[in-house]
Amino acid sequence: MYGNTASWPTLRLGVDLQRVGDVVSAAILFKERYLARVFTARELRDSGLPDDTVQAWAPRLAARFAGKEAVMKVLRHDDAALPWHDVEIRTGAEGAPGVILTGHAASLAEDQRLSGFTISLSHDGDYAIASAAAYEWEARPGAAVSFEGGRHD
Amino acid sequence: MTDTGTTRDTAIRDILKQFGRMPADPGSIDRDADLYRAGMTSHASVNVMLALEDTFDVEFPDAMLRKSTFESIAAIDEALATLGATQEGVA
């Protein structure tokens, strides 16, 4: 038994599925307006735009859209205004994706004591999927966690 | 509904038919029906938003990028009215 359960975090999960074909259609139809409105310059670059073929960048971009939606589900933003750029999916130095929150998304996370955002992306054929997770702290993140055995981190 | 409102309503339904990817027929759906419950995905709502901007020559500001703005035909109509969209923007 833990001595101080109030300081333990609850895990929040979000998942989203995205059709790659829908992303391609939107990019063809609305071109730069779609790409720039939804994705950050970093996301477009990480996905291989503008140099790679559509077969290469489209599934990566679809996975990033799914990633944004998965993070938004974790944020449980209800009806708060949330521009897509506020949730950025970045490819890290070792290839693993990460989440950068800015603007309203960062405020929502802070207000709900959410931290430790993690994301995983995948795609196969015409579908891309993303799952996101974060810790929801009832007490302040970083607060001491008490164990009955006497250890205090 | 005014003539402008009627024209806008028709244009919104046409856009939903083309971009909403809903199983339900946007032409006959209730103005207050929840479009997300009717099957419109988040990504489809992006296409709907961009098509609305093209058709009515408006731009949805960040403050209006919320679920309720696009959740029904009536809500979209109201948002467009707020942005000053008129039938002049409808082809």
Spatial contact of A38 and A65, defined as CB atoms under 8 Å apart: yes
- Chain A residue at shortest CA distance from B66: A81
pLDDT tens-place string over residues A67-106: 999 999 999 988 888 999 999 999 988 889 999 999 999 9
- Chain A residue at shortest CA distance from B42: A69
Burial of A74 (0-12, 13-18, 19+ CB in 10 A): buried
Q: What is the pLDDT of residue A42?
A: 97
The DSSP code for A135 is: E
Cβ pair A33:B21 closer than 8 A = no
Pairwise CA distance, residues A129 & A32, whole Å: 24
Q: What is the pLDDT of residue B3?
A: 61
Q: Which among A108, A141, A101, A134 has a CA at the least distance from the CA of A119?
A: A134
Tokens of B41: 């995905």
Angle between helices B42-56 and B73-82 (to 10 degrees): 40
Spatial contact of A87 and A39, defined as CB atoms under 8 Å apart: no
Q: What is the pLDDT of residue B86?
A: 67
Residue B72's pLDDT band, with cuts at 50, 70 and 90, is: very high
Residue A56 has pLDDT above 70, yes or no: yes
Tokens of B46: 């992006």
Cβ pair B66:A23 closer than 8 A = no
Reported ipTM: 0.87
Q: Which residues on chain B are in Cβ contact (under 8 Å) with A82?
A: 65-66
Cβ pair B63:A81 closer than 8 A = yes
